[in-house]
Amino acid sequence: MRGMVLWAALGAAVVFAGAWFLPWMGDTPPFPLIGHGMTGAGFIFDTPPGPGTGLEIVLFGLLGLAAFVAAFLTAPVGSVIIALLADITGVHLALRDHPGLSSGPGTVIAIMAITVLAATQVVVIWPAARKSAIVAVALATVAGVGGSVLVTARDVDATTSTALSAVTVKEQHGPLSGITAVDAKNGAERWHHWERDWTDAQAGLSPDGATAYLAVDKTTGRYALAFAAATGKLLWQKELRADPWYWPASRPTAPGVTDEDPWLLIGPGLVHHTGLNQLRYLDADGREGTIRLDARCAGVLGAGGVRRLYLVEMCGDAVGVLATDRNATQLWSAMPFQSVADAFRATVDDHGDTITIGVNDRTATLDAGTGRVTG
């Protein structure tokens, strides 16, 4: 290789090497991805990127390296053949579904570098193809930029609605995960918001039907989002917990077991455990407050309410109710249930002046203003 061909090959080698330090998936370079995908038997099956993607990254890297080595050892035919195999692997890697991981430019840039290398080797084999090779390099550069935009654009699929009628919401799971809202009367889809780097989506609707809430896991932690239920407009997004490469299987099976809660607890706003008897409250406007459970209580069985927030507390073998206003200020607490065996989840029905609490097969009606048991 001489002159421009040599410099073009050297430049492609530098770009290829540099691409491995750029994000490929999940805003992460490939080396942490490979290591994570091969860490622990549980992680191999439950956490992205998994062994398939990890092995494909390794194969792509080895083929690319072999193509460059063959070129600099003056084996242009072999270099072109290996480069084509590398490009096929790289394109598949860039376009494959990888749930839980956003797309990054690194893969496409590495493909572009290998394509440029192949063009230089074609010139070595057929010097008369110099002009065609220059065109190929230009096209590879354009394709690299366009490819980066394409793979990133696949990461989000979101729609909105102009209708104002009532909706119900459900989770979407798959290569793209998130929330889908459907018309409460006819079941037709109204809007959705799905993203590739979301997993373990949990969706719920506020009791007044005005706000849809979503909690999702990302590679950096767990996040909560609020949407206008009628239109799908994103109201806010907040981090609930920073926990890189979270493994959903480690979540507790009942609230109060650890400082995390496995369900969405929704009243006028969203409630999230931050400590054994401490809760973080996020209202529909994104304002935050802190709620402390009664001293003997260590978990929450359910939540609800329209004008106020009602939390059903797990207090040893008893079950209590804690009421707060929309600013998370405690109004009253009561202990309507005693000697409750194996309480796991509770329901809250807000009737305005009264509320009905259901725990297992038992119910109690309380005055909404005072907490006094009325039935």
Q: Where are the domains of the chain?
A: 3-153, 157-242, 252-375
Q: What is the arithmetic mean of pLDDT over 247-255? A: 39
Tell me: pLDDT of 177 over 70: yes
Determine the residue type at 115. T
The topology under which CATH files domain 157-242 is Thrombin, subunit H (2.40.10)
Q: Can you give the pTM of this predicted structure?
A: 0.80
Task: Count CB atoms within 10 A of the CB of residue 374.
Answer: 12
Q: How confident is the model at residue 229 (pLDDT cuts 50, 70, 90)?
A: very high
Do the beta carbons of residue 239 and residue 221 sit within 8 Å?
yes
CATH of domain 252-375: 2.130.10.10
Instruction: Give the closest residue to 226 by CA, choosing from 282, 166, 170, 265.
Output: 282
**Calpha distance 84→52 (Å, rounded):** 21
Residue 69 half-sphere exposure toward CB, CA atoms < 13 A: 7
Do the beta carbons of residue 56 and residue 89 sit within 8 Å?
yes
Do the beta carbons of residue 22 and residue 105 sit within 8 Å?
yes
Residue 251 has a pLDDT of 41
Token pair for 46 = 């439950």
**Calpha distance 105→25 (Å, rounded):** 8
Residue 136 has a pLDDT of 66
Q: What is the arithmetic mean of pLDDT over 189-216? A: 92
Mean pLDDT, the chain, integer: 84
